[in-house]
């Protein structure tokens, strides 16, 4: 349980990665009440200097005793690291907010999007899981719809930016684009095929049912976050040559009668959502507009002309912010407010 204080000792594990750096930025931007900050990473990154609120902070090697005296630890160092070190953090009395897939589907681990299900955090959570980036932006939009109209089925196709794969993927897209424009060949490394000027219907490994692991995350996590295992979810996850921001085309079928007009009004009044839906003036959510923004952008809201009680919409969100770092910091803010 988090004890009420004016300020809290905070650690960021995986601080040198893209999401870790974004966590530091957001903690500073939102003026989170940090008393002391530890920035942790692997031994090869130890000694590097990062910046927090304009001040230099030295990266320390992540160790089993790194969390002594820490109140809240934000993890974004990958599932293996989380499995190894998060239990030590909890044992030291720290609450862990983990951005990896390590604990998301553990029955006793809350999987949290603050606009959707903060009440799922019990009084002594130990570890709180941050959902997958593509799931987060979708469920922010789905939650008000489910509450009012009861969702039966969701069909979603994602258009996910390369930053979801880390800095090496960002560099690969940049390098391949340059090479191809210069008349040279594009050599894939991070991805199995060329990503520049291409779309890859393949994110993470393929499972026995023909879906990828990324797609099945969306199925399982959506049901857990919304607290309804009856919701049917059929996803297709696609990597696209965009640096930042994930986009999704979502079709929702509901039990109760639903209309685009009602949904537009409903989402416009919902926390964390900005409706951008004026197609007559070519106004709809764009990845280039959503990058570095905190909201989930929703537009192209329209009735499904092929199915009764169904709508379509387009949703865009910054995968490094709301899809990862911001969501984790919002969970920490909730814990502080509740203490």
Reference 298, options 256, 250, 259; nearest CA is 250
- List the catalytic residue out of 199, 245, 246, 288: 246
Residue 43 to residues 46, 60, 62, 102, 239, Cα–Cα distance (Å): 5, 8, 7, 21, 31
The answer to whether 246 is a known catalytic residue is yes
Reference 135, options 148, 154, 118, 119; nearest CA is 154
Q: Which residues contact 96 (CB under 8 A, 6 or more apart)?
A: 73, 75, 82, 86, 89, 90, 126, 127, 128
Which residues is 51 bridged to in the sheet?
56
Composition of the chain by helix, strand, coil, percent to 5 = 35, 25, 40
Which residues is 317 bridged to in the sheet?
246
CA distance 168 to 190: 7
The answer to whether 202 is a known catalytic residue is no
DSSP state of 2: P
Q: Which two tokens stand for residue 179?
A: 């090479």
Q: How far apart are the first and last CA of the chain?
A: 8
- List the catalytic residue out of 94, 133, 146, 245: 133
Which residues have a catalytic role annotated? 133, 246
């Amino acid at each position: 349980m988090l004890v009420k204080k004016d300020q809290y000792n905070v650690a960021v594990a995986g601080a040198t990665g893209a999401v870790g750096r974004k966590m530091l930025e957001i903690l500073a931007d939102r003026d989170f009440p940090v008393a002391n900050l530890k920035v942790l990473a692997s031994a090869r990154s130890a000694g590097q200097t990062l910046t927090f609120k304009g001040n230099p902070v030295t990266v320390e090697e992540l160790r089993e005793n790194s969390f002594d005296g820490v109140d809240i630890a934000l993890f974004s160092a990958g599932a293996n690291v989380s499995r190894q070190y998060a239990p030590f953090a909890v044992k030291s009395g720290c609450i862990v907010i983990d951005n990896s897939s390590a604990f998301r589907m553990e029955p006793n681990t809350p999987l949290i999007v603050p606009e959707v299900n903060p009440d799922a955090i019990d009084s002594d959570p130990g570890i709180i899981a941050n959902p997958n980036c593509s799931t987060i932006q979708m469920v922010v939009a789905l939650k008000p719809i489910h509450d009012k109209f009861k969702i039966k089925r969701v069909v979603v196709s994602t258009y996910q930016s390369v930053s979801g794969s880390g800095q090496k993927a960002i560099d690969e897209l940049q390098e391949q684009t340059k090479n191809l424009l210069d008349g040279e060949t594009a050599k894939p490394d991070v991805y199995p095929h060329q990503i520049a000027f291409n779309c890859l219907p393949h994110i993470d490994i393929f499972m026995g049912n023909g879906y990828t692991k990324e797609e099945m995350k969306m199925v399982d996590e959506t049901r857990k976050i919304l607290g309804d295992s009856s919701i049917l979810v059929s996803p297709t996850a696609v990597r696209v040559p965009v640096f930042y921001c994930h986009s999704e085309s979502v079709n929702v079928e509901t039990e109760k009668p639903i209309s685009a007009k009602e949904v537009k009004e409903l989402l416009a009044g919902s926390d964390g959502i900005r409706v951008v839906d004026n197609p007559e003036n070519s106004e709809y959510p764009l990845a280039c507009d959503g990058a570095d923004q905190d909201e989930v952008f929703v537009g192209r809201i329209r009735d499904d002309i092929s199915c009764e009680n169904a709508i379509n919409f387009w949703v865009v969100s910054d995968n490094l912010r709301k899809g990862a770092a911001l969501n984790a910091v919002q969970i920490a803010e909730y814990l502080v407010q509740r203490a």
